[in-house]
Amino acid sequence: MQDMKSCFDGKVAVITGAGGTLCSAIAVDLARKGAKVVLIGRTREKLEKVAAQISEFAVRVEPGDVTDENAMRRIAERVAGEWGPCRFLVNGAGGNNSKAMPTRLRYSEADLAPTADFAKDRGFWDIDMDAFRSVLEINTLGTVIPSRIFGLQMAKAGGGSILNFASMNTYRPLTRVAPYAMSKAAIANWTMFFAQYMAPAKVRVNAVAPGFMVNERSRQYLMTPDGGLSPRGEQVMHHTPAGRFGEAADLLGCVDWLLDDTKSAFVTGITVPVDGGFLSSAGV
């Protein structure tokens, strides 16, 4: 049931990356709390599946590329014209690219020769730099651009709350994912910068850093086809005191708190890990 006392009631909440496992759960939760939810993502089909879960509430599907400033501006203008200004923004769009990831974990003499099989064996000098750039762009500009456009709406309307998506890579770079780690470290820095810049406009800016969550992508490298743990999954679990991977529902309480001005009015510029204790454990 919709909570009529919710601070989200009747206000516009924009979620980018809304077709993904984590942000779709956030979208559903905010809709059930009374928000008018705008789903943004590159794939209409994924967005429509999310919208179908909350069709009894105010929801709209707006396909678009978060790195395209003109596309984001057009969406913002349409939404404001019909529903009013954005009050909550969740910057969940992002991603990685396997072409930007070496399969080797450390330098070896194999790096001195061209790889014979890119799909199975590649070092740092074999990775695709166009793919490297694309990861940096989606994870950084894909947060900055929506923040500029929807953040300005918030400022004009007298306030709002922005939530960015950081990562465990924000705190320490995991092996093989250099551009992803770089970009997620940048998100924490951007969150602090934009928080202090937007404070006079009564716009708060924070970030959440999910730990190892179960989704379509993570299953491929954390689990085996039969549902067991891969070697990488075993390493993660060895460093996770909670003894399990996270679920999308594990994020909802933190997201609610960071977005809600009645609960976190004096909180801005922080990044909160939701990681089952991963960062607290050295694994020994």
What strands, in cross-sheet order, belong to the sheet with 86-91? 59-63, 36-41, 12-16, 86-91, 160-165, 203-210, 271-274
Structure tokens at 162: 């922005």
Q: What 3-state DSSP class applies to 271?
A: strand
Which of 171, 180, 197, 221 does the annotation list as catalytic? 180
107 tagged catalytic: no
Task: Tell me the CA distances in angstroms from 19 to 95, 125, 160, 211, one per residue in order.
Answer: 12, 33, 23, 19
φ/ψ of 4, rounded to 5, equals -65, -15
* H/E element, 266: none
62 within 8 A of 79, measured Cβ to Cβ: yes
> Within 106-241, where are the H helices?
129-136, 142-157, 178-198, 216-222, 231-238
Smallest CA-to-CA distance from 43 within 84, 95, 103, 114 is with 95
Query: Looking at this protein, which amino acid is placed at residue 71?
Result: A
Q: What is the C-alpha separation between 202 and 111, in angstroms, rounded?
A: 51
CA distance 121 to 202: 50
Distance separating alpha carbons of residues 83 and 38, to the nearest angstrom: 10
What's the rounded Cα separation, in Å, for the pair 115 and 162?
43
Distance in Å from the first CA to the final CA of the chain: 45
Catalytic residue IDs: 180
